[in-house]
Amino acid sequence: MFSMDLLLGAVVFGVLLGCFYAAVSVGLSVSFGLLDVPHVAHPAFLVLASYGVYQLNESYDIDPLLAGVLLTPLFFLFGLLAYRIYYETFERRGSDAGVRGIAFFFGIAFIIEVLIILQFGVDQRSVTATYIGKAWRFGEFRIPIRQLVAFAVALGLTVLLAVYLSKTFMGRAIRAVAQDEEALRLMGANPVRIKQFAFGIATAVLGVAGALLIIVAPVEPTLDRAYIGRTFCVVVMAGLGSISGTLIAAIILGVAESIVLTMFGASWAPAISFAMLLGILAVRPQGLLGR
């Protein structure tokens, strides 16, 4: 017998989970949604960030969120470099660039995964912090504090990025370059520089997102595979290029996964995102709030 309480709990948990998914996907919304880069290594970067947070937490006892913030400038530079390589090698070439671009990111993701295994081993890693381990009692529900922390930070991060892209000059330039590169060039701006900067921002966000990843649950090197479905599902469902849509789409995914988790167990949860991705592509490929 399926109780209302259980369902309600699943929904609440799903909303929290969804906001977290939004934070880890919002970078892809920029890199794939706006810039059209076939960035299948996005989840690998995310996991890499989480291991970076782990290292800082483990060796220097730094709070994971703080560690994430510290990693942000490093990942920004990493993003700049990655886009430079991608652009020089693939955007400029003619045919075959599509295959090679995808293979390139697949190779990068794989290299990251193996490097993590070599450095940290295959076992799960987690962080310690004051808010991890405690739970908040709310009526009949028991919500772990770390989920709430992740929820709050994720929400803040997503809103921050959305505001940045719509209100600041650079943010609007990024959205403009996604729509009409030629026009931007005619206005004297360098579209490649702008795209590179955007990719840098998309990667920088992963610093904090990685921290959230390891706060919410322990990480292990192959986690990127589970997240490729989730992140792409969120970005496509939102509509390529829609940052605000990312939050809504992520919450829908989070709730769906949470309900399936409660009803059918954990092993089927990763399949949900892929199923939803295929469903959206078949039925409404432009997403909910597409460009």
Partner 1 sequence: MMKHRNSIAFWVGVAVFLIAVLSMTQIVRNEYPFFAGYVILQFIALAVAWSILGGYAGYVNFGTNAFFGVGVYTAVALFKATGVPLVVQIAAAAVVGLTLGLAVGLLTLRMRGIFFSIATIALAIIIETVVMNWRFVGGAAGIQIQRPPVTAPFDSYVKMLFFVQAVMVVIAISIARYIQNSRIGRGLQALRDDELAAECTGVPTLKLKLVACMISGALISAAGAPAAMYLQYADPSSAFNLSYSVSALAMALIGGTAHWIGPVLGAILLGSTQQLLAVTISSEVNVLVLGIMLVLFVVGAPKGIIGLLRPRYRLRAGGKP
Partner 2 sequence: MTTAAPDAPLLKVATLTKTFGGFTALDNISIDIRKGERFGLIGPNGSGKTTLINCISGALRPQTGSVVFCGEDITQLPPHLRARRGIARSFQIPRPFRSMTVLENLMVGLDFAGASSSLPEEDVAMSILTRMGLASKAGTPTDTLSQVELRKMELARAMAMRPKLLISDEAMAGLSSSEVDEVLDLLISLGEGDITIIMIEHIMQAVMRFSERMMCLDAGKIIAIGAPAEVMANKRVQEAYLGT
Please tell me the count of residues contacting partner 2 according to CB under 8 A: 4
**What does 118 interact with, of partner 2, partner 1, none (CB < 5 to 8 A by kind)?**
partner 1
Site string for partner 2, 81-120 (x = CB under 8 A): -------------xxx------------------------
**What does 229 interact with, of partner 2, partner 1, none (CB < 5 to 8 A by kind)?**
partner 1
Does position 265 interact with partner 2 (CB under 8 A)? The reply is: no
**What does 227 interact with, of partner 1, partner 2, none (CB < 5 to 8 A by kind)?**
none
Q: Which stretch, 7-15, 66-74, 179-187, 225-233, contacts partner 1 (CB under 8 A)?
A: 225-233
- Binding partner 1 (rule: CB under 8 A), the pick from 7, 155, 271, 288 is 271
- How far apart, in Å, are the Cα atoms of 128 and each of 139, 149, 286? 27, 14, 41
User: For residue 169, what are its two tokens?
Assistant: 């000059």
CA angle 117, 230, 76 (to 5 degrees): 65
- Binding partner 1 (rule: CB under 8 A), the pick from 115, 159, 192, 259 is 115
Q: Which stretch, 50-58, 67-75, 105-113, 152-160, contacts partner 1 (CB under 8 A)?
A: 105-113
Give rounded-to-5 percent helix, strand, coil for the chain.
75, 5, 20
Closest separation in Å from C-beta 279 to partner 1: 10
Q: How far apart are CA 40 and CA 208, in angstroms?
A: 19
> Residue 218's closest CA among 143, 123, 113?
123
Q: Which stretch, 8-16, 110-118, 129-137, 170-178, contacts partner 1 (CB under 8 A)?
A: 110-118
**What does 152 interact with, of partner 2, partner 1, none (CB < 5 to 8 A by kind)?**
none
Q: Give backbone dihedrals phi and psi of 144, rounded to 5 degrees, phi first.
A: -60, 140
Radius of gyration of the chain (CA): 19
Site string for partner 1, 238-267 (x = CB under 8 A): -----------------------------x
Sorted by sequence, the CB contacts under 8 Å of residue 193 that are 6+ apart come out as none
Q: Which stretch, 45-53, 181-189, 210-218, 278-286, contacts partner 1 (CB under 8 A)?
A: 278-286
- Binding partner 1 (rule: CB under 8 A), the pick from 5, 6, 61, 110 is 110
Q: How far apart are CA 150 and CA 16, in angstroms?
A: 8
Query: Is 235:286 a contact under the CB 8 Å cutoff?
Result: no
Q: How far apart are CA 264 and CA 147, in angstroms?
A: 22
Closest separation in Å from C-beta 253 to partner 1: 14
Q: What is the largest CA-CA distance in the chain?
A: 65
**What does 59 interact with, of partner 2, partner 1, none (CB < 5 to 8 A by kind)?**
none
User: For residue 235, what are its two tokens?
Assistant: 């970005």
User: For residue 43, what are its two tokens?
Assistant: 């989840």
The residue ranges that bind partner 2 (CB under 8 A) are: 94-96, 286
